[in-house]
A and B are shown apart, each in its own frame.
Chain A
Amino acid sequence: MRWGIQAALGMLLAPLLLGVITRTKAFFAGRCGAPLLQPYYDLAKLLGKGAVYSRTTSWVFRAGPVVGLAAMLMALAFMPAGGAVSPFAFAGDMLFVAGLLGLTRFFTILAALDTGSAFEGMGASREAQFSALAEPALLLGLAVLAKQSGELSLSGVMQGISASSWGVVGPELVLVSAALLIVFLTENARIPVDDPNTHLELTMIHEVMVLDHGGPDFAFILYGSAIKLWILGTLLVGLLVPVRTGNAWIDGGAFAGGMLALSVTTGVIESTMARLRLVRVPHLLVGAIALSTLALILVLR
């Protein structure tokens, strides 16, 4: 029951996080900014449009957004949010969720390559390169959490991490959180790695791969990436705000507050940092891998 509410809220509120991030950035730039619900208006507008498909594309191009959204929704079903335990949880579902993230990426990349545009191919190659480096950081970070809590499912891990674990293995958890924050920013195409606003051809990564999608397909992609933001955010907030009282209202409230704070933090990072040069991005990701590895070495010790 609790999980059902959390998952429904996740599906409902995910685009709101994007709205909060945009609003924070607008605040820093001294503008009033788009309404908080703008992502919903965008989705509604796109869903009302028709789709146009190039004759050079095949079924892969049409499958990309659908598979992506389906995989994201499936991954959402495994995420324990605000103390709720997912009914689907099984030992090792963290790898499954990571695999679903990978599947989404794989189909986005395939759809981009399917258009036959050299430009989209460039974006696909960048996305593949960066995610290949972000994934080890995520998996090693999850391994640390699994070792620490003695559980192999995400729900078990989140139940196992409590405020008292911060007193015992605080330094390790800080390392993992930092690594996961970098993964969070990378996977969601956020600023030190990719600029979600940019339409400058040579610097785009994620945006360039979805240029040829339109109408409902593009709505699926936008909604899917909002869910992805929510999923990775859930992971980070579950780690950083370990409120596990058992009371649904307190836990859920702490979780919601954490998600809001995370979106604002993302907005602040985007406003105060410059995008890294493309050649510097792998350094950052290797740094994230180093942080995760360090934490893993420390908990295995």
Chain B
Amino acid sequence: MSLLIESAMVLLVLTNLTLLGLSRLRSCIRVVAVQGIVLGLLPLAAHADDLAPRIILLAGGTVALKGFVFPWMLLRALRVANVRHEVEPIVGYTLSIVIGIAGFGMSLWVGSRLTIPGAAAPPLVLPVALFTILVGLFVIVSRRKALTQVLGYLVLENGMYAFGIVLVGEIPMLVELGVLLDVFVAVLVMGIAIYHISREYDHIDVDELDALRG
């Protein structure tokens, strides 16, 4: 079981690094979808011994939302926005991957320093959750397109989700569903916002929004 969780964690790290190295928006969306599916299946691996219907429901909902609905919405936003499909990073791809590796080292160090009260979590979960949060932040600040900011936000949320699902374990169902609903609405709103930005300005480059005057 711990090998299963560990493999899932390594997969998360790999999806994060791939996201940093990819140049196509479409592939980035797919990678985040894969990450969502891995995360959605994580509760099943973490509670493999006693599978309550609650957990199966939660896993199913997460996989459906993060693995299929969000990518579909984002791909649609990309299609209707009709913009160039390059990521156009401020920090180059190779450097991004190097920064990612350094970030992972740092998360491991921080993770070994932090003591989480209560549950004895599998060893890799805390650093990987921290790393995913870091990558989400990095994607938000180092990419120009509005769409990549949504992706960064999703990755950030994924990190917190991984943190919660394995470490805390017993979050009430209602809270989980509430969070999922929030993310859903956020992605929906941001998808619409991207469409309007692109219709108004013919691009979704957030750098140039600086020049807006009220």
B60 within 8 Å of A by Cβ? no
Cβ–Cβ contact A283 & B10, under 8 A: no
Cβ–Cβ contact A286 & B98, under 8 A: yes
Kindly list 19 other residue pairs between chains A and B, CB separation below 8 angstroms, not including A171-B7, A171-B9, A301-B123. Answer: A168-B3, A170-B3, A170-B7, A171-B3, A171-B6, A171-B10, A172-B10, A175-B10, A283-B21, A286-B97, A286-B98, A293-B101, A294-B10, A294-B13, A294-B17, A294-B101, A294-B104, A298-B124, A301-B124
User: How far does the Cβ of B53 sit from chain A's closest Cβ, in whole Å?
Assistant: 30
Cβ-closest chain A residue relative to B13 = A294
Q: Which residues on the A side are within 8 Å of B27 (C-beta)?
A: none
Q: Which residues on the B side are within 8 Å of A168 (C-beta)?
A: 3
A156 within 8 Å of B by Cβ? no
Determine the main DSSP class of B at the interface with A: helix
17 contacts between A and B (CB under 8 A): A167-B3, A168-B3, A170-B3, A171-B7, A172-B10, A282-B94, A283-B94, A286-B94, A286-B97, A287-B17, A290-B101, A294-B13, A294-B101, A297-B104, A297-B105, A298-B10, A301-B123
Cβ-closest chain B residue relative to A298 = B10
Q: Which residues on the A side are within 8 Å of B94 (C-beta)?
A: 282-283, 286
Render B97-134 as a binary contact track against A, CB cut-off 8 A, 1 for contact.
11011001100100000000000000110000000000
User: How far does the Cβ of B92 sit from chain A's closest Cβ, in whole Å?
Assistant: 9
**Closest 7 interchain pairs by CB?**
A171-B10, A286-B94, A171-B7, A290-B97, A293-B101, A290-B101, A286-B97
**C-alpha gap A297/B123 in the complex (Å):** 13
Q: Which of B7, B10, B100 contacts A290 (CB 8 A)?
A: B100
User: How far does the Cβ of B195 sit from chain A's closest Cβ, in whole Å?
Assistant: 31
Q: Which residues on the B side are within 8 Å of A170 (C-beta)?
A: 3, 7
**C-alpha gap A171/B7 in the complex (Å):** 6
Binding site for B on A (CB under 8 A): 167-168, 170-172, 174-175, 282-283, 286-287, 290, 293-294, 297-298, 301
Q: Check A283/B104 contact, CB under 8 A, given A171-B6, A171-B10.
A: no
B184 within 8 Å of A by Cβ? no
User: How far does the Cβ of A295 sit from chain B's closest Cβ, in whole Å?
Assistant: 9
Within residues 7 to 24 of chain B, which ones have a CB less than 8 A from any CB in chain A? 7, 9-10, 13-14, 17, 21
**C-alpha gap A290/B101 in the complex (Å):** 7
A170, A175, A283: most-surrounded residue (chain B CB, <10 A): A283
B68 within 8 Å of A by Cβ? no
Cβ–Cβ contact B97 & A297, under 8 A: no
**C-alpha gap A301/B123 in the complex (Å):** 10
B72 within 8 Å of A by Cβ? no
Q: Check A290/B17 contact, CB under 8 A, given A170-B7, A175-B10, A298-B10.
A: yes
Cβ-closest chain B residue relative to A167 = B3
Determine the main DSSP class of A at the interface with B: helix
Please give the number of chain B residues whose Cβ is less than 8 angstroms from any Cβ of chain A in the complex: 20
Render B9-51 as a binary contact track against A, CB cut-off 8 A, 1 for contact.
1100110010001000000000000000000000000000000
User: How far does the Cβ of B109 sit from chain A's closest Cβ, in whole Å?
Assistant: 10
**C-alpha gap A294/B14 in the complex (Å):** 9
Q: Which residues on the A side are within 8 Å of B101 (C-beta)?
A: 290, 293-294
Q: Which residues on the A side are within 8 Å of B6 (C-beta)?
A: 171
Q: Which residues on the B side are within 8 Å of A172 (C-beta)?
A: 10
User: How far does the Cβ of A286 sit from chain B's closest Cβ, in whole Å?
Assistant: 5
**C-alpha gap A174/B94 in the complex (Å):** 22
**C-alpha gap A295/B169 in the complex (Å):** 28
Q: Which of A287, A293, A294, A298 contacts B21 (CB 8 A)?
A: A287
Cβ-closest chain A residue relative to B7 = A171
Q: Which residues on the A side are within 8 Å of B13 (C-beta)?
A: 294
Cβ-closest chain B residue relative to A172 = B10
**C-alpha gap A106/B14 in the complex (Å):** 33
**C-alpha gap A301/B17 in the complex (Å):** 19
**C-alpha gap A131/B123 in the complex (Å):** 35
**C-alpha gap A170/B2 in the complex (Å):** 12
B14, B108, B123: most-surrounded residue (chain A CB, <10 A): B14
User: How far does the Cβ of B107 sit from chain A's closest Cβ, in whole Å?
Assistant: 10
Q: Which residues on the A side are within 8 Å of B3 (C-beta)?
A: 167-168, 170-171
**C-alpha gap A172/B93 in the complex (Å):** 24
B9, B21, B123: most-surrounded residue (chain A CB, <10 A): B21
Cβ-closest chain A residue relative to B92 = A283
**C-alpha gap A244/B101 in the complex (Å):** 34
**C-alpha gap A298/B9 in the complex (Å):** 11
**C-alpha gap A283/B93 in the complex (Å):** 7
Cβ-closest chain B residue relative to A174 = B10
Q: Which residues on the B side are within 8 Å of A283 (C-beta)?
A: 21, 93-94, 97
